[in-house]
Structure 1
Amino acid sequence: MTPAARLSAAIEVIEAIDNQRVPAAKALKEWGTAHRFAGSGDRAAVSGLVYDMLRRQASSAWIMDDDTPRGRLFGMLRLERGMDTDAIASLCDGSRFAPGPLTDGERQALTSRSLLDAPAHVAGDYPEWLDPYLIEAFGDDRAAETAAMARRAPLDLRVNTLKAKREKVLGSLRHLGVTATPWSPFGLRIMLGADARNPGIQAEEEFVKGAVEVQDEGSQIAALLSGAKPGEQVIDLCAGAGGKTLTLAAMMQGRGRLIATDRDKRQLAPIHERLSRAGVHNAEVRTPKWEAEPLSDIRESADLVLIDAPCTGTGTWRRNPDAKWRMRPGALDIRLKDQAEALDRAVAFVKPGGRIAYVTCSVLPQENGEQILKFIDRHSDFRVIPPSQTASVLWDKTDDFLAAVYLSDEGLLMTPRRTGTDGFFVSVMRRQG
């Protein structure tokens, strides 16, 4: 497919998303099925155009003064891809498979309009109803913070220190352009261009033998800040597919007891194969059965309970731009209830002197600091460990990291703009006694 044909295909997919109200992944899959002649490079390019438009949907419509699939896509090419009017016009000559020529209005918009007078929710590309929540989170910086959340994320990897050292994997994956992440001591990063396909990490020998896993650097740091140590009893209460479980296992160096569970047993399905590939031998997976508590035999004996809490995912908008436009106000209320239940459930398992590490991939205060304040009000025997102490696991980078994040009495918040990671909130609390 020519670049112009890819542009027409992206417009077609965006029209399907709008008209059928389907997720972007579904629309792209259906387009690929109907256009089997398109090669993998074509599909990746069309996907990149669609997702970049979703990242910049509001600002792209604003810049074009046109909230149509065509208008939003052209606005994205200007804002995200940095293409000028002539470059965009060259793709729209009206020839076979190409979009129709630019109108005078489109040329005028591409040439003269800017985001200087755009409201924050447009400049930052987020739903307008979220503005009061983001004012509470970031104040006047909300447009800058959310604009950073509207850019394409890199691909981050975590070196499994049970099997390899970062220096060795840096060498063996050099052909993928990997570099060391700035904060995590076992992170690797692959920067991705606009049309780049995600490299086939799963086919790499280092992945097959369990030396690396795909994991955002912020997620790696969140697990690190929990302070899991060899010999401890650690519970991953909302383990899901096991990303943080694997990080905890590496931190524990194969010593101690690691238990992974999740209310949704479907989420646990991939964890068994991942633990095996990673060479983890001190972990057990507790799959829930009906309404019974899978941890009923554990009573105030855990050194650490990690809660990777169900949340709105606002911190992952770089990777899931479709999600921010599909998010509805009621979703926040549901997540707040889920988080409070997970926190209260964890209390029964933590021994005196033990810790709860509460993590969300959200930037909304209601899911973060406000949840912690309410929890401590319900459970007065818990105290927040100051972030300056939990961040000491980053060694010589502690001071720089603490200067970069948002700090509060309840924990710390990483953001794409401040730390180059996804948005993660972390609070570690110790039980008194």
Structure 2
Amino acid sequence: MTPAARVQAAIELLDQIIAAAEREGAPADRLIATYFRERRYAGSKDRRAVRELAYQAIRHCGPVPQTGRTAMLALATEDEALAAMFDGSTHAPKPIGEHEEPAKSGLAPQWLVEGLAKSGVKGDVAEAMLGRGSLDIRVNSLKADRNGLELPEAGEPLAAPHALRLPSGTQVEQWEAFRDGKIEVQDHGSQIACLAATAQPGETVIDLCAGAGGKTLALAAAMQNKGQLIAADTDRGRLSRQRPRAERAGAGLIQQRELNPNRELEALDDLLGSADLVLVDAPCSGTGTWRRKPEAKWRLTPKRLEKFAALQDHILDIAAKLVKPGGRIAFITCSLLDQEGADRLAAFLDRHDGWQAEQPDLPLGRPRGQGIRLDPFHDGTDGFFIAILRSS
């Protein structure tokens, strides 16, 4: 592909990404993978360059652009070499019209920028949300020790006791240690969140939004494969992806339960009032993960945000029924909005007598409300809100 053809390919991809964002369709990385599966002629350098252009445009534009072309024009206004690619040659974008308006630059749609600012996310902290995500791994303590594990690349030890940071693009999945279940890819912030849960051997633990099991596996390692660990979710497909990961990791104590939406307790009836710990890694807007999924800023609307907040309340109420006296809920969202963090914690305490918030003792993060918040600028992690609720 010529450089100009790469620009046109990025424009076509951006059109798909914008349309998917507005209708809650496939994420950008999946759209990009599909795009190039259908274009086998594109080499690895072409794919990498087009992907980079598309993500650069997503990060640059604040509100949702009208088209992929207007998004790319926004980049071209600051890059003369890129603007020169709009020359109308074969497979290239047509020349820039005299009255064409580029998309608006910025962090995100204005309503969301204002919501983040009210949540204390502005300036350098806000800008860091659209940086590049790191590649972190967790050494699986069921099979290995961080200090003694030999890897093709040593990695940088991080604050979490089993965390290592590797150069972006490292093909971890090709390593023997990954195939043997000695390591898992997991953001450092996610590992810190699991530390807050303080899961112990012999406890009864429920991961109420287990998904594909990243945090479930970390809990299993903390429990040393001793006790009862229930991985529950309403998404059968995500749960099915957890099984081979658990087998590879040697996490034999994990039991799975598929839940019916709005009837979740039917599948958990035997566990009512018996859990030492319920982990609520609640569905959320994902504002803390924009480094990895920057198009998520275009998917969120005020109405969707309200739905996420209501769902978080619902799941926390379920968790409260599962915890035994003296037990705890670990509440986690990968969001930097107070509406999905500190506000939800306060609302829970207003609804439930006999509960109190405990400030987690963590190596990173700063207090936010009655919890702890991690962010990319201060901590070099994805953004998280983490809180512990204790039943009396």
* TM-score category of the 2 structures, normalised to the smaller one: 0.7 to 0.9
Candidates 98, 110, 129, aligned match of 1:149 = 129
How has the CA–CA distance of structure 1 residues 102 and 429 changed in structure 2, closer, same or farther, with 3 Å as cutoff? same
In the TM superposition, 1:32-181 aligns within 5 A as 32-58=36-62, 69-70=68-69, 72-73=71-72, 75-76=74-75, 85=80, 87-88=81-82, 96-98=90-92, 122-123=105-106, 125-138=107-120, 142-169=122-149, 171-174=150-153, 179-181=155-157
Identify the residue that residue 357 of structure 2 maps to in structure 1.
384
- The answer as to 2:245 corresponding to 1:285 is no
How far the C-alpha of 1:88 sits from its partner, in A, is 4.0
Identify the residue that residue 379 of structure 2 maps to in structure 1.
419
Contact kept? 1:52, 1:152, Cα under 8 Å: no
TM-score by length of 1: 0.80
3-state SS in 1 of match to 2:237: coil
Q: Please give the per-residue CA displacement for 1:14-33, whole angstroms capped at 9, x wherever unaligned.
A: 24445786653464345324
How has the CA–CA distance of structure 1 residues 379 and 26 changed in structure 2, closer, same or farther, with 3 Å as cutoff? same
Identify the residue that residue 395 of structure 1 maps to in structure 2.
none
3-state SS in 2 of match to 1:358: strand
CA distance in 2, matches of 1:7, 1:254: 51
- The answer as to 2:160 corresponding to 1:184 is yes
How has the CA–CA distance of structure 1 residues 167 and 95 changed in structure 2, closer, same or farther, with 3 Å as cutoff? farther
Q: Please give the per-residue CA displacement for 1:238-269, whole angstroms capped at 9, x wherever unaligned.
A: 11111100000111112222111113333311
CA distance in 2, matches of 1:77, 1:219: 36
How has the CA–CA distance of structure 1 residues 184 and 411 changed in structure 2, closer, same or farther, with 3 Å as cutoff? same
How has the CA–CA distance of structure 1 residues 74 and 183 changed in structure 2, closer, same or farther, with 3 Å as cutoff? farther
Identify the residue that residue 306 of structure 1 maps to in structure 2.
279
Higher relative contact order, chain-length normalized (CA < 8 Å, sep 6+): 2
Contact kept? 2:63, 2:109, Cα under 8 Å: no
TM-score by length of 2: 0.87
Runs of at least 5 residues in structure 1 that lack an aligned partner in the other structure = 62-66, 110-120, 193-197, 392-397
Moved more, 342-351 or 16-25: 16-25
Contact kept? 1:315, 1:422, Cα under 8 Å: yes
Q: Please give the per-residue CA displacement for 1:40-75, whole angstroms capped at 9, x wherever unaligned.
A: 3422331222122212223998xxxxx764553365
- The answer as to 2:346 corresponding to 1:373 is yes
Structure 2 letter corresponding to 1:358:
F
Contact kept? 2:212, 2:239, Cα under 8 Å: yes
- The answer as to 2:246 corresponding to 1:275 is yes
CA distance in 1, matches of 2:71, 2:148: 44
Contact kept? 1:363, 1:423, Cα under 8 Å: yes
Identify the residue that residue 259 of structure 1 maps to in structure 2.
230
Runs of at least 5 residues in structure 2 that lack an aligned partner in the other structure = none
CA RMSD, 1 decimal: 3.0
Equivalent pairs counted in the alignment come to 385
How has the CA–CA distance of structure 1 residues 6 and 166 changed in structure 2, closer, same or farther, with 3 Å as cutoff? farther
CA distance in 2, matches of 1:233, 1:18: 44
Structure 2 letter corresponding to 1:242:
G
